[in-house]
Structure 1
Amino acid sequence: MATDTHDHPKHTYPVRVYYEDTDMGGVVYHANYLKFIERARSDYVRQLGNDQNAMRDAGIVWVVRRIEADYLTTAKFEDELTVETEVVSLSGVRLTMGQLIKRGETEIFRATVTAVCMNALGKPVRLPAEIRALL
């Protein structure tokens, strides 16, 4: 059964668009939005106290199982963006986060990301209790 976590605060993560992030048209290349939201998720769980290196050493890693993404408008070189991340739902085996990239108040990109934990053999495992407690 999923746990409602809407009372958990949003995490914000700043991103500046560099030249290397853009395509031939001068806009952010579509795959780079996934990199931006990955950095924000990693920063979020780190700030919560989740040590991903310790998890890996214990034989458990986070794996993205599903991403649903909407490209709403473009971002360009030198734009200052903010990635907002919040927990949408949490169960014994699955963490779903909503992520939004904004330039000021303009929504650029929106995604729903579902992550699970896997062991060293590539088998899904329950999220460790200490992880669920953090989220």
Structure 2
Amino acid sequence: MHRFDLRVYYEDTDLAGIVYYANYLKFIERARSEWVRDLGIDQAAMKAETGQVFAVRRVVADYLAPARFDERLTVVTRVLKVTPARIILGQDVTREGESLFASEVTLVALDGQGGATRLPAVLRQLPPD
């Protein structure tokens, strides 16, 4: 399990003063980038050396409760399932333990031509959380 803390800025909110729905996808993207970095994967080097990049194949999202300006949030990332070609993550945005947003994200790896390829070994070997 990986935790990523963030603060809600004014630019993250809508006219009603709550986090705009699409920004939750940005929050979980930032958390995934930090999770991958913490696993020791340098995505820029991976692309330069092998042409391989990660892509989101599928997202299922539930908006459970609103977040507001200046609140501190945590994105929790868990490995749900791993196959040689994809990894499924559970990513939840919480505020002091309260679940605000729950998602299931399927990631795949693409080669330099945009075709599917196997995930890097470090990801294929991850156990579910």
Structure 1 residue 51: Cα displacement: 1.1
Asked if the contact 2:12/2:19 (under 8 Å) is kept, the reply is yes
Q: Secondary structure at the match of 2:18?
A: coil
Structure 1 residue 101: Cα displacement: 0.5
Structure 2 counterpart of 1:98, one-letter code: G
Whether 2:31 is the aligned partner of 1:40: answer yes
TM-score by length of 2: 0.93
Instruction: Note the 1:1-135 alignment, pairs <5 A.
Output: 10-57=1-48, 58-133=50-125
Asked if the contact 2:82/2:126 (under 8 Å) is kept, the reply is no
Gapped regions of structure 2 (runs ≥ 5):
none
Structure 2 counterpart of 1:113, one-letter code: V
Question: How many residues end up aligned between the 2 structures?
Answer: 126
User: How has the CA–CA distance of structure 1 residues 134 and 87 changed in structure 2, closer, same or farther, with 3 Å as cutoff?
Assistant: closer
Gapped regions of structure 1 (runs ≥ 5):
1-9
Structure 1 residue 68: Cα displacement: 0.2
Structure 1 runs of 4+ with >6 Å offset: none
Q: Secondary structure at the match of 2:45?
A: helix
Structure 1 counterpart of 2:35, one-letter code: Y
Structure 1 residue 54: Cα displacement: 1.5
Distance (whole Å) between structure 2 residues aligned to residue 125 and residue 17 of structure 1: 36
Asked if the contact 1:49/1:134 (under 8 Å) is kept, the reply is no
The two structures, once aligned, show a CA RMSD in angstroms of 1.1
